[in-house]
Structure 1
Amino acid sequence: MTIRLTAALAACTLAAPALAQDSYTVALDGTFAPHAMPSMSGGVEGFNVDLANIIGERLGVEMDIVATQFSGILPGLAAGTYDFVVAPTTITEERAGNVLFSEGYLNTDFQFVVAAGTDPVETLEGFAGQTIAVNRGSVYDSWARDLADEIGWTVESYGTNTDAVQAVVSGRAFANVAGNTVSAWAAKQNPAIELSYLYSTGLVWGMPFQKGDEELRATVEAVIECLKVDGTMTMLSEKWFGVTPAEGSAAVTPLPGWGQPGFEGFVEDDHEPGC
C-alpha cells in the first residue's frame, strides 16, 4: 500500500543536479518504531518518515512512501519497484555487493536500558550476575547468549522487546538490550527506565539504491550531508530518540566521496557539502 505523506518540516532548497523525475517511490518498514510506525491519522510517522519527506522537500520532489515488510524491500528495489530505500538498512559487505549504499547517516549500536535511578554501568562486565531481557530470536538475543559464559549474566527471552522492557520495569530483569534507537525511544516513552551502557558495533545505517544508479545516490547523499551540517539530523534525533548525536557520530559527520568508505560502491571524490 502506498502512503503519500505531506511534509511537515520546512527546509531550504538544495542546489542539486536536475532531476529526471518529479517524484520518487521509496520504501520502509512501517512497523519499526520509532523509525516508522502507524500514526493516529492512519498513515505512518517516525524518524525515517520525516527524513524521507525532508529529502523530498530539499530536492523539490514528491515522495511516495510505501510501508511494507522489510523482507521484501531490497528485492523490490532490485526489481525496480522502488527508486531507493529509506528504511534503516545496516551497511554490510554482503549487502554492498548487491545494492549501492549512501554514506551512513546513523550509527546502529546495541544499548541497554535499566530501571530509572540505577547506578551507571560503564562496561559489559558491569552486568555480571544480572538478568538481561531480550527479544526472542533477535540479533540481541543471540549476541547476549554468546557472551553469557564470558560476562556471567543470565539471558531471558521474551516474545517482543516491549515485553522485555516490561521485565525491567517489573524487576524481573536488571536490563534489556536492543538497538540504540529502539532503546532510546523506549526510555523516552517510559520514565520508569533510562538508558545505560552503549555497545558500539562499528556499523551504520545507509540508504540503498539500485546498482548503477550513482547519479541518484549522489543527489540524495548531498542532501543527507547538508542535513548533518545544518543540524536537521540532530533535530530529528532529539525529536524521535530524545538523544543528541555525539560528536563524530554518523548523524553529524559528512564523509568524503560518495557512499560508505570501505565498502563496494564507494566512489572517491573531494566534494564539500553544497549547503
Structure 2
Amino acid sequence: MPGLKEYRENKNAFSGVNAGSPATIDLPSDRGMIMSATWEYAEDGTPANEATLIAGAPKSELIIDGQVFSEYRTADVLKLNKFYGFGFKPGLLSHHFAQPWRRGVGESEATALVASAHREPSMRLYIEEGRVNPTLRQHIKSEGLGARGRGIVAAQPARSANRVIKHWIDIIQAKSSGSTPTRYRYEGGGQRIRGFHFEGSNITAIRMEVDEQERWWYKSLDHLNIDLENNGFFPQPDTWHVVFEAMGGTVESAFDPNYGGMSNEIDFEIYTSDTESVRMVVERYDTPATK
C-alpha cells in the first residue's frame, strides 16, 4: 500500500556471520522503496556502542548485480547521521536512503532505493577478526509502490530508479600552511554532489571555485557552521561540512558537476595551520545500474 511505511526484519539469509569475514544479505525487492537499512550488531550478546561498531564492523557496501556500488565506512556513517540529525542507539547502524527532514514527501523520498528496479541488490557488512561471538540482523524501513508503481518499475526500471548516496574518499596532503593555501581539484565524478566533508583540526579556511570563479569562501568554521545550524543541521567537531543540500534546504540544491552538458571544474583552496593531511568524504548521488 503506497503511503504506508513498514519496519520489518529482513528475513533473507546472511551468507554467514563470522569474525574475519564479510556477511552479505539480499535486499527484498517486494517492499517498494527502501527508506533505510539498519544493521543490528552485537558482540557476545551485548549491543555494540559506537567504538565497538567502528572497530568490529568497520565498513559496509551496497552491491548491485554482484558489483560494489559504494563502500561506506562505519565511522563516516555515524558522523554523517549525527550531522543530518539522526540519533544513535547501541547496536544499531542505519543507512538512510530517504531523508525525512526534507521539505515534502516527494523531496524526502527522492533518494530512496527502489530495490525492484535493480538486479540482485544486496548489502555486505565486514566483521573484523578477533571479535567475540558477533551476531547480526538487518531491518528495513520501506514503503509500498502500489499496483501502478509496480507496473512502471517492471516496464521501465531505468525510469523508476532513484539516485542513491555514494561515498567517495580522498586524502589531501597539505603542501603549505598559513596564508598560502593548498590547491585541490575534485575529480571524483558523480551525477550530483550532495556535499564535501573535510576532516582535520588544522583547517583554518576553505575557498571553492567553479570554473575558476569563486562561489563559496568560508574564512572561518564559524562562518560555515552558523549557516548550517540556522538550517537545522548539527556540525561535527573538526569537520568542515560544505553541503549544498543542507545550505539550500532541498535535494535540488545538490551540485551538478555537469550542468548544461558541460563538465565543471571544481577547485578548492584549503588553508591550514600546518602541513598535516586532510581527509575528505564526498557524498555523491549516482543511479545504480538497472535491470
The structure with the greater share of residues assigned to strand is: 2
TM-score (structure 2 length as normaliser): 0.25
TM-score (structure 1 length as normaliser): 0.26
The structure with the greater share of residues assigned to helix is: 1
